[in-house]
Amino acid sequence: MAKSVKSQALAGGSLSQTVLKVIQVTESIIVLQYELLPDTNPGANGNFAAIWQNTNNIPYSQTPEGTAPVTGSSQKGQLSFPVDLRQNSYIIGYSVGPELKDGSQKYGNVCSTVYIPSIPKPQSIKENAVVEADGDDPFFADLTLGVITGDTVTFKYAVPENCQPKTNKAWVGVFRGSASYNNPPEKAVAMTSNEDSGWMAINHKFVANKKYTLAYFMSGYSDTPTQTRMAVTLSFTA
């Protein structure tokens, strides 16, 4: 019977992520599009994108080469950064909240990344030409459903490489129905590990045949957690 429950859980679940993708690359500019979670207000929540000259990981405590604030309340939009792809490689991160204070990773709210390597043969690139970006796929903070019973849910989380969930006071909320930026979850659980991916279990009374949503927040855990830094959600039926 337990095996049947696990199989059903792994087959279900509806995932929503904070998406960042490249729509144009030239030798001197990168244009990106962001697609955010439903109901988020990026301008009010202090969202921004940042760019570093680096390999394929975010230097979480290093000042970026540039930042671009995300204004307004739209969940979809574009932004750009000047670059020099003839000489440098870049990683760009989308942050679902403001810079964090001392004691946390300064850019610990970055949940989605795109890596753009330098152009291997710059002499073959014409001025202002659009080039194909060879590099790793974009990364988005992720949740994967494991087992769901009447008393427990297990899931796997993944955040960008070298992100430290415990240090940044990341947390997971259990919501009846859909996740909310305003209504409190039925349960809030602090991240107790600094691993950037792993399995977790949350003990909770789940009502059969009802919809629930797990929401991962990059920071803000406290007695009354901050709900504006939501990075990814996973809905399922108990």
Return averaged pLDDT per consecutive 10 residues of the chain, 238 residues in all.
34 86 90 96 98 94 94 96 91 97 96 88 53 66 95 97 98 98 98 98 96 98 98 96
Residue 54, classified by CB atoms within 10 Å of its CB into exposed (0-12), middle (13-18) or buried (19+), is: middle
Distance CA 13, CA 217 (A): 18
pTM for the predicted model, two decimal places: 0.90
Contact 173, 214 (CB under 8 A): yes
What pLDDT is stored for residue 9 in this prediction? 40
What pLDDT is stored for residue 68 in this prediction? 97
Distance CA 115, CA 113 (A): 7
Distance CA 146, CA 37 (A): 22
Residue 154's DSSP bridge partners are 201
Q: What number of CA atoms fall less than 13 Å from residue 49's CA on the CB side?
A: 28
Q: What domains can be seen in the chain, in order of their start residue?
A: 2-15+141-237 (2.60.40.10), 18-139 (2.60.40)
| CB-CB neighbours of 21 under 10 Å | 13
Enter the DSSP assignment of 228.
S
Tell how strand 211-217 and strand 197-203 pair up: unpaired
Tell how strand 139-140 and strand 142-148 pair up: unpaired
Query: How far is the CA of 138 from the CAs of 2, 32, 43, 208, in angstroms?
Result: 35, 11, 23, 36
Residues whose CB falls within 8 Å of the CB of residue 102, separated by 6 or more in sequence, listed in order: none
**Cα dihedral 138, 85, 29, 105 in deg (nearest 10):** 50
What pLDDT is stored for residue 2 in this prediction? 31
Distance CA 183, CA 186 (A): 9
3-state secondary structure 56-104: CCCCCCCCCCEEEECCCCCCEEEEEEECCCCCCCEEEEEECCCCCCCCC
204: its two tokens: 């909770």
**Cα dihedral 47, 48, 49, 52 in deg (nearest 10):** -120
Nearest to 179 by CA among 167, 171, 191: 171
Distance CA 216, CA 143 (A): 8
